[in-house]
Amino acid sequence: MVVKIYISGISGNKEVKKHQQRVMMILDSKNIEYVVVDITEPGKESDKEFMQKNSNAKDSKYPLPPQMFNEEEYCGDYEDFDLANEVDDLEKFFKLSPSVSKAEITLEPSAPAAAPVAAAATEAEEKAPVENGVSSSRENSSEKEVAPKSEEQADGDAATKDESEEANEEE
């Protein structure tokens, strides 16, 4: 089934032009295949008559583009399209069958994959140097154990803090 969008390529109405562009932009972004039928092109008079006979005019004598069809079946105008897009129901609006993913997933029974990964992570952690209780590896810190500071390191930090406070007081 082919979605057809009836448009006017030479409309002087800016709102009609914006609506046409928006419909095509949304269809492109949703990967919905469609065919554009420009009713203003020479030789498209029969398409124009078809659109006018099979569409619903709301505020004017003739229905304004864009008008949407699925083959010969009328789906709606811009307002109907916009409402269907708002509620994420374009497949129903265009009377399309729900898209089914063609991807296949095959699961084969095997040993758990997490065990080798965990062993590799442990080896990396063992090889990473530890400075001031912080590992230099870029592994997630929530998964690592932080080495506690020795008494000498803790005393050195306190001495450095005291020296900096004394220097500030002298200034």
Which pLDDT score, from 0 to 100, does residue 141 have? 47
107-162, pLDDT tens digit by residue?
777 655 555 555 555 555 555 555 565 555 554 544 445 555 556 555 555 555 55
Residue with tokens 């095997």: 110
- Does the pLDDT value for residue 168 go beyond 60? no
Q: State which residues form the domain around 31.
A: 3-93
Instruction: Kindly state whether residue 133 falls inside one of the protein's structural domains.
Output: yes
Please report how the helices 78-86 and 14-29 are oriented relative to each other, as an axis angle in degrees rounded to 10: 40
Instruction: Kindly state whether residue 37 falls inside one of the protein's structural domains.
Output: yes
Percent of the chain with pLDDT over 90: 51
Whether 81 and 149 share a structural domain: no
Which pLDDT score, from 0 to 100, does residue 149 have? 59
Using CA atoms, how far apart are residues 22 and 167, in angstroms rounded to an integer?
68
Which pLDDT score, from 0 to 100, does residue 116 have? 52
pLDDT band (50, 70, 90) for residue 97: confident
Number of domains in the chain: 2
Q: With 0-12 CB in 10 A as exposed, 13-18 as middle and 19+ as buried, what is 24?
A: middle
Whether 83 and 32 share a structural domain: yes
pLDDT, mean of residues 73-84: 97
Q: Find the CATH number of the domain harbouring 32.
A: 3.40.30.10
Q: DSSP code of 75?
A: E
Residue with tokens 């932009």: 25
The domain boundary, picked from 69, 93, 117, lies at 93
Whether 89 and 132 share a structural domain: no
The domain boundary, picked from 34, 69, 93, lies at 93
